[in-house]
Amino acid sequence: MLLQKTHDFATRFLETLETRPVASPVDFACLLERAGGPLPETGEDPVDIIEKFANAMDAGIVASAGPRYFGFVIGGSLPAALAADWLTSAWDQNGASFATSPAAAAAEEISARWLIELFGLRRSASVGFTSGCTMANFTGLAAARHALYRQLGWDVEHQGLIGAPPITVVTNEESHISIFAALQMLGLGRERVIKVSADGQGRMRADALRLVLAEIRTPFVVCAQAGNVNTGAFDPILEIANCVHARDGWLHVDGAFGVWAAASPSHRELTRGIDLADSIAVDGHKWLNVPYDSGIVFVRDRAAHYAAMSLGAPYYAPPTEMTRDNHDWVPEASRRARGFAIYAALRSLGREGIVNLIERNCTLARRMADRLGAAEGVEILNDVVLNQVLVRFTGRDTASVIARVQKDGTCWAGGTTWHGMHAMRISVSNWSTTEADIDVSAEAILRCAAM
Ligand SMILES: *Cc1c(COP(=O)(O)O)cnc(C)c1O
């Protein structure tokens, strides 16, 4: 009865996803009041709770899972992934280890192998399933930190960084903020970084990197990115990998959404050299369209990955027997069995479906750019190489246009600052977005721009 009723609520929501306003302005205090009040002294009936809760929160639910949400880089949930996610909750497995859930271990192992094959990475890479790309970046950089300190004969997991000799961190000047958040958490410092200049699309300049590396006298890690969060542009990974490895450095690639291009024959070229990266961070909950929370980290040096994340003694050799303890490859111990939804998503799409999803979204982004760019006073600021479109409205205040679009509710797009200009950022990353969604959204945006 309870779960049946909940299922009905969920189904009704999903059925209205295409037609409900993508986001409606809502007052925070009003939501708190509707759903809040004092802590109940006594328990309430679960069916009643779910019903009241769903009604009270409805105004605060963003249709980001729907086809016309173009904010940030947010995918929806593929039906198979959502179904697997429901089971994940019902099964309530502790995804930490083989002992707590052999099924959770197996789903991650199978998904890991499929993803390695899909992206063309080395079969020997170790894979961790994190809460998102921020923690995937954290994990990859923790493995880097281990490996670089190993070169210096310093056991960073045991001795920490106090009194440790320095290592050097190099980023793109346009690296995603989560790289700096990861450095902050790792004790490497968000400011203690050399930032390499980027070109007009936000790609790290390999010639500038070479000059930077020539001056470095310590072990170093370079953080490159596959998919600039504004433009979708890719750093020249192959070229970067070659100069990093010529100097014995570690290459980390933040590819939250961009790495998915490696799966598509028509976009793979953008990621050339990705197989040479020492660590790669990717999101599942963005372009693979699985529910939150889902990130993935790949590390070439399994021993470094294990040493950085293992709860046990980092000296122990990584487990080689045919079993898997998921906690060995991520920061947490007890956690959700994240592999189930990823497994279901990969299985429901197949390689062909993934390629279609990526290519379809990229084509739709191009279509959006063409529709908007053809209008008077609208400028597309980026080369649309992937699923991201940056738009500026000339002679009008871009921020007000964005505010009107968000209020209109046909679609949702956010703002960003790009090279000193305020711009609207459009990301097409949902499996269910159609040409008609793009057309009606472009119309709405142009309507709001003309107001
Ligand atoms: C979204 C994103 C991240 C952070 O990922 P979360 O899943 O939100 O933690 C990191 N890097 C890039 C390029 C991103 O787009």
Q: Is the CB of 71 under 6 A from ligand 1?
A: no
Mean pLDDT over all residues of the chain? 95
Question: Does residue 227 have its Cβ closer than 6 Å to ligand 1?
Answer: yes
| 177 CA to centre of ligand 1 in angstroms | 8
Q: Does domain 77-451 have CATH number 3.20.20.220?
A: no
Distance 175 CA to ligand 1 centre (A): 11
Instruction: Quote the ligand 1 centre to 133 CA distance (angstroms).
Output: 5
Tens digit of pLDDT for each residue in 118-129?
999 999 999 999
Percent of the chain residues past pLDDT 70, beyond the cut: 98
Pick from 137-151, 184-198, 310-324: least confident: 310-324
pLDDT digits (tens, 9 = 90+) for 397-447: 999 999 999 999 999 999 999 999 999 999 999 999 999 999 999 999 999
Report the residue among 176, 237, 260, 425 best suited for mutation to probe ligand 1: largest number of ligand atoms under 8 A from its CB: 176
From the alpha carbon of 293, which atom of ligand 1 is closest? 7
Q: List, for residues 7-18, the tens digit of each pLDDT value.
A: 999 999 999 999
Ligand 1 centroid to 51 CA: how many Å?
34
Beta strands in 13-143 (DSSP E): 126-130
| Cα(252)–Cα(126) distance, integer angstroms | 14
Quote the pLDDT of residue 315. 47
CA of 289 from ligand 1 middle (Å) equals 14
In this prediction, residues 128-146 reach a mean pLDDT of: 98
Mean pLDDT, range 376-383, rounded to an integer: 97
Q: Distance from the CA of 334 to the center of ligand 1, in angstroms?
A: 23
- Alpha-carbon separation of residue 432 from 396, 424, 426, 437, 438 (angstroms): 32, 22, 16, 9, 11
Burial 353-369 (b: 16+ CB within 10 A, else e): ebbebbbbbbebbbbbb
Q: CA 428, CA 438: separation in Å to the nearest integer?
A: 9
How many Å is the Cα radius of gyration of the chain?
23
> Is residue 381 pLDDT above 50, yes or no?
yes
Ligand 1 centroid to residue 290 C-alpha, Å: 15
pLDDT of residue 311: 80
* CB 73 near ligand 1, within 6 Å: yes
Q: Specify the residue with its C-alpha closest to ligand 1, atom 2.
A: 256
Asked whether 249 lines ligand 1 (CB < 6 A), one says: no
Element (H or E) spanning 341, and its range? Answer: helix 339-373
Pocket test for ligand 1, best of 178, 203, 279 (most atoms within 8 A of CB): 178
Confidence (pLDDT) at 24: 77
- Tens-digit pLDDT profile for residues 53-69: 999 999 999 999 999 99
The full set of domain ranges for the chain reads: 2-76, 77-451
Question: CB under 8 Å to 264, separation ≥6 — which residues?
Answer: 354, 355, 358, 359
Q: Is 178 in the pocket of ligand 1 (CB under 6 A)?
A: yes
Cα of 258 from ligand 1 centre, angstroms: 10
Q: Provide mean pLDDT across the span 139-153.
A: 98
pTM above 0.95, yes or no: yes
Tell whether ligand 1 has an atom less than 6 A from the beta carbon of residue 219.
no
